[in-house]
């Protein structure tokens, strides 16, 4: 009988465990924060932003959660929409970086807070070029550049235009690699630079809303030709690494001479000794490789909306914006006038004149699908 009672209670406990997750609620005063960015960004928040914010705002805590990637963030966004419809707690307050247009209809559903009307004291400091929507808050930027091994390529010979880059790649087969465009922004923005190149180098030709099947096929088709043309001269006759980090690894092991990199990641890699200090960095002068601002989003129906808005205001402060330059190797999201003069002087050389951007939305899916179908295959790699 005893054994039987034990079995019964064990079965009951198991059934109870299966139901338990339905009954968890977000803790009051703890901001549920999500990111889909790389670990260097998460580290920056854990080591710099979180302690500073919690010290400045007693009683508010930050719960930093890694959502994996942008698609992970969107899944949480979809959960917030569903929670709004049922009037429940979305258990999310703050997205470190996301696109307010995704998931489709989130703004209309009232899930994202309007930053412009939220009364943020630092809103006016934001670099006007970076503002894309009233529902997101650009707070840091980074740009893709080319990193190269100065032992094999002299800085004077480093390519400065797309044409020189292609000539160099073809003259040095196997010495260049970029990652698959959906697996990391360095390769992704290299591919987008090729799209710009094939379409008159005009970043304004592409907007979030101007994707149509015909225009997409035509504009992207020309870019696929450019990329297919250089494919046989890439590393291992046309191999593509599976992420930003893997490209850095190939450069650091001396396998390739040049890769596209995120400015913040490469500065950090040099800082940590993953790459030697004499690693060369160069930006194309005819049209820079794309960059982007990371834009934070506050969830309107989150349990800690007001605290999350405080956090949004906090990350635009001079203290955090300075730390983005010094700790993260990124660009500030505020205008350079609102960065401390000492830092402004120190980083004068890398202050970009312009950061060309490429819209996301439907273009993303078209580029991700098109590249895999048209550029990745069609190469006889055994030869």
Partner 1 sequence: MSEVAKAAARPLMENAQSRRPLGLLLVAIPVFLMIWLVVWPAINAISRTIWRPDVDGNVGFDLSSYAFFFSDRYSLDNLAITLWTTLVCAILLLVICLPIALYLRFSRSRLSGYVQALAILPMFVPSIILAFAFIRVLGPNGMVDILFNAVGLPKIRTPYLTPWGPVIGLVWDNIPLTVLILLSGLGSVANQSIEAARDVGANALRVFRHIILPRISNSILVALSFSVLGIFSSFTLPYLLGPASPEMLGPFMQRTLREVQDPIGAMTQAVIAFGFCIVFGLFYVRSVARNQGK
- Selected from 7, 27, 46, 56, the binder of partner 1 by CB under 8 A is 7
Look at residues 354, 302, 311 and name the one whose alpha carbon lies nearest to residue 331: 354
- Selected from 15, 27, 82, 351, the binder of partner 1 by CB under 8 A is 15
Tell me if 180 contacts partner 1 by CB under 8 A. Answer: yes
Are 310 and 57 in contact, with CB atoms under 8 Å apart? yes
CA distance 366 to 368: 6
Could you tell me how far CA 79 lies from the centroid of its own chain?
A: 21
- Selected from 172, 249, 283, 335, the binder of partner 1 by CB under 8 A is 249
Count of other CB atoms within 10 angstroms of residue 320: 23
- Selected from 240, 293, 314, 363, the binder of partner 1 by CB under 8 A is 240
Look at residues 361, 323, 363 and name the one whose alpha carbon lies nearest to residue 340: 323
Tell me if 364 contacts partner 1 by CB under 8 A. Answer: yes
Look at residues 95, 150, 140, 65 and name the one whose alpha carbon lies nearest to residue 332: 140
Tell me if 271 contacts partner 1 by CB under 8 A. Answer: no
Contacts of 96 (CB under 8 A, 6+ apart): 33, 34, 35, 36, 37, 41, 45, 294, 296
Identity of the residue, 256 or 320, whose beta carbon is nearer to partner 1 in the bound complex:
256
Shortest reach from residue 87's CB to partner 1, in Å: 26
Tell me if 97 contacts partner 1 by CB under 8 A. Answer: no
Q: With CB under 8 A as the contact rule, which of the stretches 20-28, 253-261, 287-295, 315-323 interacts with partner 1?
A: 253-261
Shortest reach from residue 253's CB to partner 1, in Å: 5
Shortest reach from residue 371's CB to partner 1, in Å: 9
Alpha helices in the chain (DSSP H): 2-19, 39-44, 50-56, 70-86, 162-171, 185-198, 213-230, 244-252, 263-271, 305-314, 318-323, 341-346, 362-374
Tell me if 182 contacts partner 1 by CB under 8 A. Answer: yes
Identity of the residue, 210 or 237, whose beta carbon is nearer to partner 1 in the bound complex:
237
Are 312 and 108 in contact, with CB atoms under 8 Å apart? no
Tell me if 4 contacts partner 1 by CB under 8 A. Answer: yes
User: Considering CB under 8 A, how many residues would be counted as binding partner 1?
Assistant: 31
Are 202 and 196 in contact, with CB atoms under 8 Å apart? yes
Tell me if 373 contacts partner 1 by CB under 8 A. Answer: yes
Length of the chain: 383
Supply 53's token pair: 């914010």
Identity of the residue, 228 or 283, whose beta carbon is nearer to partner 1 in the bound complex:
228
Tell me if 228 contacts partner 1 by CB under 8 A. Answer: no
Cα 41-159-183 angle, rounded to 5 deg: 35
Tell me if 105 contacts partner 1 by CB under 8 A. Answer: no
Q: With CB under 8 A as the contact rule, which of the stretches 7-15, 77-85, 90-98, 125-133 interacts with partner 1?
A: 7-15
Tell me if 274 contacts partner 1 by CB under 8 A. Answer: no
CA distance 321 to 231: 39
Identity of the residue, 239 or 281, whose beta carbon is nearer to partner 1 in the bound complex:
239
Tell me if 242 contacts partner 1 by CB under 8 A. Answer: yes
Tell me if 250 contacts partner 1 by CB under 8 A. Answer: yes
Shortest reach from residue 238's CB to partner 1, in Å: 9
- Selected from 52, 131, 208, 255, the binder of partner 1 by CB under 8 A is 255
Identity of the residue, 27 or 365, whose beta carbon is nearer to partner 1 in the bound complex:
365
CA atoms within 13 A on the CB side of 355: 27
**Which spans of this chain sit near partner 1 (rule: CB under 8 A)?**
4, 7-8, 11, 14-15, 18, 69, 71, 180, 182, 236, 239-242, 246, 249-250, 253-255, 364-365, 368-369, 372-373, 376-377, 381
């Amino acid at each position: 009988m005893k054994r039987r009672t034990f079995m019964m209670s064990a079965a009951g406990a198991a059934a109870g465990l299966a139901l338990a997750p339905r009954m968890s609620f977000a803790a009051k005063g703890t901001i549920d924060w999500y990111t889909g960015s790389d670990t260097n960004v998460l580290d920056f928040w854990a080591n710099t932003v979180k302690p500073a914010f919690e010290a400045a705002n007693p009683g508010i805590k930050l719960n930093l959660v890694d959502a994996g990637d942008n698609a992970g963030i969107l899944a949480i966004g979809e959960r917030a929409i569903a929670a709004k419809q049922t009037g429940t707690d979305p258990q999310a307050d703050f997205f470190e970086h996301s696109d307010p247009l995704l998931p489709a209809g989130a703004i209309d559903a009232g899930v994202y807070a309007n930053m412009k009307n939220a009364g943020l004291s630092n809103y006016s400091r934001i670099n006007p070029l970076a503002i894309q929507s009233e529902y997101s808050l650009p707070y840091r930027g980074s740009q893709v550049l080319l990193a190269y091994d100065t032992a094999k390529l002299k800085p004077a010979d480093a390519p400065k235009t797309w044409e020189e880059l292609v000539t160099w790649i073809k003259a040095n087969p196997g010495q260049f690699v970029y990652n698959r465009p959906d697996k990391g922004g360095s390769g992704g923005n290299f591919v987008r630079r090729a799209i710009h190149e094939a379409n008159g180098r005009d970043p304004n030709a592409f907007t979030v809303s101007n994707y149509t099947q015909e225009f997409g096929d035509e504009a992207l088709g020309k870019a696929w030709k450019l990329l297919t043309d250089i494919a046989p001269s890439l590393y291992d006759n046309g191999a593509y690494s599976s992420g930003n980090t893997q490209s850095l690894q190939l450069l650091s092991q001396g396998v390739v001479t040049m890769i596209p990199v995120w400015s913040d990641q490469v500065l950090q890699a040099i800082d940590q000794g993953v790459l030697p200090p004499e690693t060369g960095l160069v930006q194309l002068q005819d049209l820079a490789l794309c960059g982007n601002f990371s834009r934070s989003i506050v969830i309107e129906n989150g349990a800690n909306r007001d605290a999350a808005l405080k956090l949004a205001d906090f990350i635009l402060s001079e203290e955090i914006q300075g730390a983005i330059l010094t700790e993260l190797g990124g660009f500030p999201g505020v205008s350079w006038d609102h960065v401390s003069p000492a830092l402004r002087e120190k980083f004068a050389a890398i202050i970009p004149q312009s950061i060309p951007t490429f819209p996301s939305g439907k273009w993303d899916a078209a580029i991700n699908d098109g590249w895999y179908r048209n550029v990745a295959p069609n190469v006889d790699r055994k030869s």
